[in-house]
Structure formats: C-alpha cells, structure tokens
Structure 1
Amino acid sequence: MNISKLVGFHRFALHSAKPRFFSTAVEETQQEENKWAYNHVEAKKGLFKPKHTVEEQIAYMKSKVYENSYQGLPVHKWYRRNLKGQAYIQPPPRMFCIEKTGKFRLNHACPVCRDEYLFFDYRNPALIEQFLAPGTDQPMDLLKSGLCRDQYIQLKAQLLKAREHGTLEFGIEFRAFDYKLWYENWQEQPELAAFHEHDEEIPLTRKSTKMEHIFQDEQIFFPIHNRERHRDWDEWWKRHDKFAKKAK
C-alpha cells in the first residue's frame, strides 16, 4: 500500500470531520445570549431602557449570562468611576442616569442603570444585599457604591420596604419592657429600677443605659500625678536678662 495515499486519506478525514460536540455547545450559548441581553451596546445615550418584571430579573440573576458577566462578584465591583485626582476628593455623583422619558442621558451609566434587567425591588433582596455594608443591614457609602443619587434613594426606599415585608433580615434595637403590663403581681426590684431609669420623653436605647448601673464595682481612685517642678520659664528669662545686663 502506498504510504502517501494513506497519509492523504487521514488528512482528508480530519478536515472533513464535523465538530459535533463543539457545535452543540456553541448553539446552546447562542440560545442563552439570545434569551438574555448581554448589554453589548456601550453608547446608550438617547436610547430607551427596556422595562422588565421582577420575575425576569430574578431569572436573569440565576442565569449563566449573569454569572459570566459579573463572575460571582457584586455589581458595583466592576464599575470604575473616571475622575481626575485622588479618590477621596472626588465630586459627588450625578443626580440621575435616566431621564423621565426613559432615555439614557449619558453613555456610561451607574452599575444598576446600565444593566437593563437590574432595578431595586423589595421582592428581590439578592440585589439589595449587594449594596449593603459588610456585616450590617445599612446601605454602603454612596461614593463606594457608584450609584447615581436617584438609584441610591431607590435603594433606601426598597430596603425599608423589604424590612416591612420580611424579605430581608435585619437587627432590631434594644428594648426594655415594662412587665407590669403583663404581670399584675410584679414587684419592682431596686437594682432593675435603677438600671431602667431614664427620661420618659427620650426613647430607651442602648445609649441611654448608664455605666454605673452596669458596672457596680467600687471605682479605684489613683493618686494625682505630681506635676513637674522648676519649670517656670518666665522666671528663667527674667534671670537671664538680669545676668545679660551685668555681662555688658
């Protein structure tokens, strides 16, 4: 058998082979991209922002397109504000990115305005949690979030609404209850009465409690440190002038 013919046959077989597995993967990604917007348009000034429902937003945040776009990081991590000078002297952010008519008033919008599927809603706490300060239930600083002022106000409003509807966990302030309202035979103890002593007009919080009631141990009084002596500099200069005159 001729070896050259055999080699040529193999080359023809390799070139004519169809990549079936790769074609199916590409088709799946194309279908996914067609289903969810990839936000390819950079110059958005004058364009309308599409409106979507909360259900579409939740499904979008669970899709592969969202995962590939943000790589598991918060939305504001990929946003960088171009400014001249150092970061701590940067000017305040813009008032809004989208006009009342629904059009973009500039090309580079804030992290939430630029993505057509993202908007703050109390029914989707996953997006609200990305803009909370770590370890707290309070919104992060405006300059750190990169949001415009309109979206920052929406964040505060939807955060309060999420607390009222119970879709977001949060901590409550310390409260001291009056047990007389529930127990008729309740006898007040002097120690507890002193602990809860406060002005009725001022709401009771953790700041209103007194340290003397919490730590009732005797205070240790340390002796006063003796001040330094022979440091009367005015007298020293007077004596200096006296001896300087004698030297002349």
Structure 2
Amino acid sequence: MFRAIRINACKQILQELVIPKAVQQRPLSVTCACLRRQEKREEEENVRDARKGREYNPADAETSKQYLQSKAYRDTYGDDPVWKFYRRNFRGHIAPDTRLTCVRKGVISTGNACPVCRDEYLCISYKNRDLLQQFLDPMTGEVLPSKVTGVCQKQHQRLLFEVAKAQDYGYIEKYFPLRKYNYSEYYKLAGLTKEILNAETEEMSENSV
C-alpha cells in the first residue's frame, strides 16, 4: 500500500517537472499576449536592421514644412515632439553623451538612429520654425540638452546654429533675461550725487514743456 502511494507521488512529481502547473493553468489570452509582444519585438528588430545601412537623403526645408502639416506626420508623432518617445540604448543608470553622428559617408551606420536622422523628412533649418520649437525649452527658450532629446552630437550642433540663425532672422523669438540695476551704486563712479541728477532731470523736463 505504501509502495503504491510512493509510486503515485513520484508520477505526480514527474508530471509537475515536465509540465509545470503555472503553464497548464495559464489562460489562453495571456499566452497570446506574450506571443504578440514577442512578434512585435521581432518586427521592431527587423525594422532596425533594415534601417541600418540605408542611404541617408534628407529632404529640403520646404518639403519638411509640408511634411509637418501632413496626415502621415500626425499619425506617426501626433501632437508630441519627435523626440518624446525615442529610447536610447545604453548600459547603467546614467545616460552617457549621445553618439557623434548616426550617418557616415552618406549611410546610416546604426540600427537605432537619433530622432532626426531616422526620419529623412525632418530637416533642421532656420526656415523650419515648427520643428525647431520642438527642441526649445518653453521657459527659457534655450535648446534642450542632447541627453534629453537623444539627438546625435552632429545634429545637436546644427540645432544650435540654426536656432541662433532663426532668432537673428526673426523666425523665433529671442528671450533676454530681466535684470534690475541699482543706479545709486554708480553715482560715485560718475562723480555725481543723487541731488544733482534729480535737478538735471527736472530741468530737462521743464525745457521740454
């Protein structure tokens, strides 16, 4: 009797080792979801591999401006900046500096190109105001760091140049810090007193009247 009990227990243990209960009791929907995630991950890897080694032919500024207003752009990015959902590949917890460039000799040399290099219709130009504003801090008006946007160093340097050029041409508003001066500190340097300055200002106002 005890021998039969031991044999049945051994059979049950072997069945659990070959086919675990967690797998037997897993719902079909969970299994299908795991398979879908795996297929999606494989598709993304295939897209990255196909993108690597492709020739880089960026569009001009006018074509890029039309692309930003098109339905294809809204379906791809929506109302978010082009760099918002970009994820870099790096080891550790602290993000290092971005790569020097994604394009070498006219060919994309990486499978995870930066947000600008991966889309040929994104042209960084001083005329493309809508695209440049996506890389500006709304509080200070300065260009966001490359660690935040994820763009390569070559595109980041181009961003700095084109934003400064757009501000000079008046396409983008330039922010100046507000500073308040205490002019009484400069009276001694000028050799004047506050009473003399007040008298001179009163005389100028009387003469103007």
With structure 1 as the length reference, what TM-score do the two structures score? 0.53
Asked if 1:49 is matched to 2:56, the reply is yes
Mark the CA change 1:82 to 1:169 in structure 2 (over 3 Å): closer, same or farther: same
CA distance in 1, matches of 2:109, 2:87: 19
2:145 maps to which of 138, 141, 149:
141
- Mapped contact 1:47–1:103 kept (Cα < 8 A): yes
Larger radius of gyration: 1
Q: Aligned ranges for residues 58-137 of structure 1 at < 5 Å?
A: 58-86=65-93, 89-99=94-104, 101-137=105-141
CA distance 1:106–1:171, change in 2 (3 Å): same
1:140 and 1:104 mapped to 2: Cα distance?
A: 24
- SS in structure 2 of the partner of residue 56 of structure 1: helix
- Structure 1: which 5+ residue stretches go unaligned? 1-39, 177-191, 201-248
Which residue does 1:244 correspond to in 2?
Answer: none
Amino acid in structure 2 at the alignment position of 1:80: R
Q: 2:173 aligns with which of 165, 169, 172?
A: 169
Distance in 1 (alpha carbons) for counterparts of 2:97 and 2:70: 34
* C-alpha distance 90-172 of structure 1, shift in aligned 2 (>3 A): closer
Shift of 1:193: 4.7
Return closer, same or farther for 1:174/1:77 CA change in 2, 3 Å cut-off: closer
Say whether the 8 Å CA contact 2:52–2:108 is kept in structure 1.
yes
Q: How many angstroms apart in 1 are the aligned matches of 2:99 and 2:189? A: 43
Relative to total residues, which structure has the larger helix share, 1 or 2? 2
3-state SS of the aligned residue for 1:91? Answer: coil
Could you say if the C-alpha distance between residues 66 and 127 of structure 1 is closer, same or farther in structure 2, counting changes exceeding 3 Å? same
| Structure 1 outlier segments of 4+, above 4 Å | 173-176, 195-200
Given that 1:113 and 1:119 are in contact with CA atoms closer than 8 Å, whether structure 2 keeps it comes out as: no
* % identical equivalent positions: 35
In structure 2, the gaps of 5 or more residues are: 1-45, 191-209
Residues 84 and 175 of structure 1, relative CA distance in 2, 3 Å threshold = closer
CA distance in 1, matches of 2:129, 2:173: 10
Q: Residue by residue, what CA displacement relative to the aligned partner does 1:155-194 show, whole Å, maximum 9, x if unpaired?
A: 1000110011100012235589xxxxxxxxxxxxxxx752
Contact 1:123–1:162, Cα closer than 8 Å, also in 2: yes
Deviations 1:124-158 (A, max 9, x none): 11111111123221011221110110011001000
How much does 1:41 deviate?
4.9
Who is 2:184 aligned against?
194
Higher RCO (CA < 8 A, seq sep 6+): 2
> Aligned in 2, Cα 1:124/1:199: closer, same or farther, shift over 3 Å?
farther
Give the match for residue 160 of structure 1: 164
Write the deviation string for residues 25-54 of structure 1: whole angstroms up to 9, x where unpaired: xxxxxxxxxxxxxxx953222211123221
